[in-house]
Amino acid sequence: MNCAWLEVLRAGRVSGRKRLAALLDPDDVPLGAGLAGLVGRLEGSAVTDVFIGGSLLVRGRVTEVLGAVRAGFSGPVTLFPGAPDQVVAGADQVLFLSLISGRNPDLLIGRHVASAMQIRGLGMPVVPTGYLLIGDGPLTTAAYMSGTAPIPAGKPGIAVATAVAGEMLGLQLLYLDAGSGAGVPVPTETIAAVRRETDVPLVVGGGMRDRMQIEAAWAAGADLVVVGSAIEEGPGDLAWMPHPPQH
């Protein structure tokens, strides 16, 4: 099934139109009126997209969070699943993540086999995504749960070679992630190096906590920037987030 959202990212890659996503972890966001209020503030903010998912879900609240986002947010909603049981009906698309920065076979093909028929049954567009963890610590939830070491932040050549390999394998989106709770974002040098050597849309997230970091990631070549922890820690004020460039 073709994915209209991916086509928008591809067109933006050519025209210079950027996007900004809020990542909502169902374990960490409130439900009820608190979530409705947050979604309303996202709708009135610079955010163009909402991602839903997390590395560790213990409350199983993906459906409830997705429903609240659908009720109050007009932009695209993407599942960013950390496990097959996070894939539920109702989103616009799901990122079919291959953790190509690591060597854990379960995250290269195992979970894909476990979830493929379920996702096909939902009839949801799938975006084959090369997922790369980048950073030197402290240890993030994503790195711990995946049992893999991130690509060192000071080794952009490794990130480039990994990203190019993913593109050669046919992956249609690349996602560079410093991980939830990262102390620093993915270095702009790494973003720029990956952008120069690949042609598919590029998503960058993790460690983004101010306007300058988001704008620097866009300027380095990110097509879509993802903000998670900063929104969780300050959900009442989202005015600091910059509007994505549209040229």
Q: Which amino acid is at 106?
A: D
pLDDT of residue 247: 81
The pairing of beta strand 173-177 with beta strand 93-99: unpaired
Residue range 120-179, pLDDT digits in tens: 999 999 999 999 999 987 788 888 888 899 999 999 999 999 999 999 999 999 999 998
Residue 59 pLDDT exceeds 70: no
The DSSP secondary structure of 33-91, one letter per residue, reads HHHHHHHHHHHTSS--EEEE--S--SS--HHHHHHHHHHH--S-EEE--SSGGG--TT-
pLDDT of residue 56 exceeding 70, the answer is no
- The domain limits of the chain are 4-231
pLDDT of 174: 98
What is the pLDDT confidence band of residue 198, given thresholds at 50, 70 and 90? very high
Read off the pLDDT of each residue in 78-101 and give the average, rounded to a whole number.
Answer: 94
The pLDDT tens digits of the residues spanning 160-177 come to 999 999 999 999 999 999
CA distance 106 to 98: 9
**Is residue 85's pLDDT more than 90?**
no
CATH number of 4-231: 3.20.20.390
